[in-house]
Chains A and B, each alone.
Chain A
Amino acid sequence: MTREETETSGEDMMIDDPKPKIENDFNVHYLRIYYGNLFPYTDIHKWLSYGHGTCLFTCLSFFLSHSLKSFKNASLMEAAIKSNFPYKIDIGAVYSVDPDKRHAYAQSGTNLFTPVERELVFDIDITDYDDVRYCCSGADVCSKCWPLMTVAIKVIDTSLREDFGFKHILWVFSGRRGVHCWVCDAKARRLTNEQRSAVAEYFRVYKGNENNAKKVDLMGHSLHPFLARSYVDFLKSFFEGELQATQSIFSSKEKYEKILGMITDEDIQADLRGKWENSARSSLSEEATSLLRWEQLKKALQSKRNKALSLRTCVEEIVFTFTYPRIDLEVSKQMNHLLKAPFCVHPKTGRVCVPIDPNNCDEFDPLAVPTLSQLIEEINSGGLKMDVDDDDSDSSLLGKSIKFFRSSFLEPLLKSCKEEIESSYKTKIAKTKDSFSW
């Protein structure tokens, strides 16, 4: 999770300005209106209760007070959020005892305040790709590099469903430059830290730092079926298509040297380098140049493929380096890690953390996500208070997101929770019927 600093923008109140042009989309007054009218309390509470009607021991952290809170029902949660207007809300694990009372349970020898359940979460941040994107760096993101996130969603989502068998998966825009994934199946919530770590490591391919030129090492005589499927279904076409168009990774000497460094055979390196230096002044576009050079590289490697094992997987390694998802392992491994709640507002951009549909993630545009000021303006111009529970809210900026959250995530999840509660109840009844001993 990215621990971000808050803005101290409490005093920028421009409500008297007839046409408020806000430099900073985020201020306390707008937050108040947002949490007063737009934040979907009931839906969030239903989600975190998982059919039990209460999320009593779920740890929610409010950034302002940094205190851990838990709520018996939606209206209490609503009241607390409305009185605090936190800059952000983070969701943590469900604990064995009330988080508010954890100090009372502190004892030597055994720790009673332990996490019991927690969604399996993933955090993908585009700054982790800085070494392979040339359009932006750091906190910026644009339409040229955002597709890296799209591909990441496809790869991870497919694997979570096909390999791990998970069904209730929520993808959320992190508000600025990444995505979060919440896996909410009961099996996922009950995973131990060790099991979470195993899933995270299963997804890990990139092992890079400044010291090594080759950051992806696909050893062995074949790819694991998961990696092979990701390559064939998503990565290869993305690399040879969209990536070349947006990043042109071969078009300049600085760029292609980085790739040449990943080829372990010096003869091939020298050969390609020679070719490309000579064609530096060609009339082709950047994109076409890039594609041509990629074909030349593949051909060069193909001809020498049997000479060394490391050359066999070189093509795939290059593709993986540029396109394969890079998740933040630490976020996934521990149950007690806090992660930003969906539908809260990002302090730096003012954008709402809306859900992303993994089946349509190509169409998601991070720069078109509603900002706090846009939402407020919508309320102002509409003249009415938006009612989030209103089914006709499809037309509003936020309504579509809330509707998607409900229909494709919340409802199936609650149905499955209900079935599970019922079946475990039935098993309990059956057990007590069978035995008369005590």
Chain B
Amino acid sequence: MEVIRSQKRTVSNDVVSTPTLPLYLTAPHMEVRLEEFELFAIDRLRVLKGVSDGLARARNPNEMDDLVETLWKEHMRLSNVSEMINKDIISHFVLRLVYCRSDELKKWFLSMETALFRHRFRLKKIEEQRAIVGEFGLPYKAVIGAELESLKERLGLVARSHGQISSDGTCNMLYFDPMFTLSHLAVKLVPFLMEKFLSFLSFAVENIYYKVPFEEVPDLVASRRVLLQKGFAFVAGTQLVSLVVTQFRSHLSKALILTNRKWTTTIREREKDRLTPIVEALSTSYLGPDYSQSNEYADISLKDIDQVSKSSFPLCMRHLFEKLREDHHLKHGGRMQLGLFLKGVGLKLDDALAFWREEFTKKVGSERFDKEYAYAIRHNYGKEGKRTDYTPYACSKIITSAPGAGDHHGCPYRHFSEDNLKAALSRMGLSSRGMEDVMDKVRNRHYQLACTLTFEAVYGTSCDTGINHPNQYFEESQKILKSKTPAAPV
């Protein structure tokens, strides 16, 4: 892949020949515009994060199929098919660079890309699936002739052991169940025989069996969905997804190791002024709006702020706010996290100054406040120094912060002890059942999901996009509350 700055991109020919589900076996020879390098990767990252969210919510395979289809349409679709394939391939290879750099990143990327591949594969028709199997260059042949004859009965037993008698084309051979009583037969004879005959035909046509070393299909072996003989598994055409996904994962795993090697030895240094900063930022990137410009929902005045903190603040900000009111002080980390959040919520600079002054002067006095703290607040609003208008922190940044002694910033789902978190959640109004769900997510380290569940419990609605920014929590909450009582301040 060659990254260029020119406006036009030369369309390469060797991409279009692949079917619509690329296997990413080799890096393509194509030119990529610098902007596309980053943008394509971000779009794919949205898809992968959506997949991650779906898996964390324990969606069943059919739900995941639908989710993947929706995510792909939303983020990866382009008007031109070959453009779409290009974007698919480019984004995958860029993300390989991003996610090869540590064991943890590799593991996440491998899981998500494999899940994405699995569900995209499942959405394909069977002829396309077979073509993809061929693409992998797998040396597995279909079982035919005398060997197939000797296995037929047992293959039928395997299929029946998983309750497959319906005639949906995946059904099995003509197996006559000796348990049927005579009367049963008499009533159902004709349609029964027709059904069996048709299913026999479809077996003959649809159910090709591949002879595969058992190591290649561990999930089929584990659930006893295949016949085993002398180290080989007999995989039905309808079970191809298992075979292919194992191959995909194993190939990608090895590729990531190689990519990491190339990255650390040559690419990182060579690209340190161009691609490297993009790559390094991508793995921690937050992908939503940045809330640096507050909108009309969010204008709040000082007199409402206490009430609003109880009704619409996420737990992290509520905690900081309460501690500020309690101690009349916050350390630097807390000031930054809460201060920027309030800016995003719509607190104007003058109101902000008044707010912080009101609290801090209770402890440090007015003169010290002006001298030591006011400047920083103005700085946050871009009125001092290099006049950068700082953006409020996203969840990813807050979760990775490290509050020390005396600090109250950070993410309570991550940084609080279990007891403290439960107490805080009950103050927010969660029932013990709701709390258990949240704690379960916390124990599995899905902190943002825990916050999302809290949101859903508090407001009684579902939040499908998931919370990934405190200001998002605030805005969504305000929307719900305003729709319930439009006149009164909430």
Interface residues of A (CB under 8 A from B): 109-111, 162-166, 187, 191, 194-195, 197-199, 201-202, 219-228, 305-306, 312
Contacts and interface: CB of A to CB of B under 8 A. Distances in A.
Interface string B97-133: 0000111000000000000000000000000000000
Nearest to B162: A220
A198 B218 contact: yes
Interface in B160-205: 160-163, 165, 177, 179-181, 184
A348 B250 CA distance: 45
Interface stretch (B225-233, B282-290, B331-339, B370-378): B225-233
Contacts of A191: 215
Given A109-B103, A191-B215, A195-B218, A228 B228 contact: no
Q: Which 3 A-B pairs have the closest CB atoms?
A: A165-B231, A198-B218, A201-B222
Given A163-B228, A164-B228, 16 more contacts: A109-B101, A163-B229, A165-B229, A166-B231, A187-B215, A201-B221, A202-B221, A202-B222, A221-B163, A222-B157, A222-B161, A225-B154, A225-B157, A226-B224, A228-B157, A306-B184
A162 B230 CA distance: 5
Q: How large is the interface on B (under 10, 10 to 19, 20 to 34, 35 or more residues)?
A: 20 to 34
Nearest to A108: B102
B160 A220 contact: yes
24 contacts: A109-B102, A110-B102, A110-B103, A163-B230, A164-B228, A165-B231, A165-B232, A166-B231, A187-B231, A194-B218, A195-B215, A199-B221, A201-B221, A202-B222, A220-B160, A220-B161, A221-B163, A221-B177, A225-B154, A228-B157, A306-B179, A306-B180, A306-B181, A312-B179
B223 interface: yes
Contacts of A225: 154, 157-158, 227
Nearest to B161: A220
Contacts of A220: 160-163
Main SS class of interface, B: mixed
B455 interface: no
A228 to B, nearest CB: 7
B271 interface: no
B255 to A, nearest CB: 16
A195 B217 CA distance: 8
A263 B158 CA distance: 25
* Most chain B beta carbons < 10 A, residue from A195, A225, A227, A228: A225
Contacts of A163: 228-231
A219 B163 CA distance: 8
A124 to B, nearest CB: 19
Contacts of B228: 163-164, 202, 226
A122 to B, nearest CB: 15
Contacts of A166: 231
B356 interface: no
Contact of A197 (B161, B177, B179, B222): B222
Contacts of B160: 220-222
A306 to B, nearest CB: 6
B219 interface: yes
A166 B103 CA distance: 33
B210 to A, nearest CB: 17
B236 to A, nearest CB: 14
Given A191-B215, A222-B157, A202 B224 contact: yes
A164 B231 contact: yes
A199 B231 CA distance: 11
Given A109-B102, A109-B103, A306-B181, A164 B161 contact: no
B360 interface: no
A389 to B, nearest CB: 35
A388 B240 CA distance: 53
Nearest to B184: A306
B214 interface: yes
A114 to B, nearest CB: 11
A44 to B, nearest CB: 27
Given A109-B103, A306-B184, A223 B222 contact: no
B336 to A, nearest CB: 28
